Structure 1
């Protein structure tokens, strides 16, 4: 018998360790994220915050402890189940957008839906709806090389949210932007995520970014410390 699961808890970590060879990158991390909650993890480069994020997303296997999604331990899932989970229930936003240069903006945005088997026309319609909510409706037919850095990052946000994931994992999503664009992208990202009831786990080194979260954690030398809720 495990611990009781909160009705609102969607994602949790309990005593999670992660090792790279003999180096312990994450040490006994505990974290809980509810539906619709934005949780921010701050820390210096090399503190282990991105490593923990990838453990939570099922990308990196934990050495000890458990990561649970909807009460199920990711360690109990097979490779196919993990892949399906990441494709259909999780969304990802990376620091540099990571858009595919050969696809248009609307095709990049629709990619999670297409990978999940949705037909092209409804996938593009859904993509354009999200692009419109982010002020990008005029860019649908352009290539990533034809838009600005701030616009590209908004597209990455749209792509992460288009399939209405349960959780979005964001690794320094505004780190490559100037302060004006960073603030605009983050506000749109969090507003849209909250309006859809999507939980967000946000990794950042910027206290101003973390201040917009519902709960905050600090990572220092692999140790995660809660900083309370707003």
Structure 2
């Protein structure tokens, strides 16, 4: 697949296949194109060449409503800074994908509470994001990404804003829960310690993707 920003070639002929339940790390320096590739795979950015398929379905052939529903129901997202909604409680933030899918509030909150409990946040459900730590906020973001048991989670530097101790804990809990659910994870990172937790590793440089064993 290829992606351009104006005349700039952000992704060059990338090819990648992700299996059910697989954890894939895409490494690279800032500006290497790894985040652009992530958002192409998630159907957020349309590719200029090639195609992205999900369970055999070409994302580029879907209309906006169908693509939005796919991202809402089958995909999860974790961002570097969590991106929680400050006006909602921890529990309400975690339940958001279920509420957007039309699930009743009580049912959605119960499911969110279960996932939060597995991430050690059961006692913080009624607090706002501003009332918990950065590491706890990122756990809430993980809960939100996994609460609807998506097929795949796209994670863009999910521990990049945390200190090393919190980063290790959040990553361990995130991947353990994803693997328990059979959810695939596409993890963009510049951190070799984070990438080492993946089943498959790729490196990206100047928009070119290479599998780890192909990298000199």
Q: CA shift at 1:227, angstroms?
A: 1.1
Partner of 1:5: none
**CA shift digits 1:82-107 (9 cap, x unpaired):** 00001000000000000000000000
Q: TM-score of the superposition, structure 1-length normalised?
A: 0.92
Q: Distance in 2 between matches of 1:198 and 1:109?
A: 17
Aligned pairs for 1:33-182 (under 5 A) are: 33-182=18-167
Quick check: which one's helix share is greater?
2
Partner of 1:7: none
Q: Distance in 1 between matches of 2:100 and 2:17?
A: 29
In structure 1, runs of 5+ residues without a counterpart are: 1-15
Q: CA shift at 1:146, angstroms?
A: 0.0
Count of residue pairs the alignment pairs up: 213
In structure 2, runs of 5+ residues without a counterpart are: none
SS in 2 for 1:217: strand
Q: Distance in 1 between matches of 2:162 and 2:144?
A: 18
Q: CA shift at 1:115, angstroms?
A: 0.1
Q: Which runs of 4+ in 1 moved over 4 A?
A: none
Q: Distance in 2 between matches of 1:44 and 1:20?
A: 18
Partner of 2:188: 203
Partner of 1:4: none
Q: TM-score of the superposition, structure 2-length normalised?
A: 0.98
* Higher RCO by CA contacts (8 Å cutoff, separation 6 or greater): 2
Quick check: which one's strand share is greater?
1
Q: Distance in 1 between matches of 2:85 and 2:190?
A: 26
1:187 paired residue among 172, 196, 199 = 172
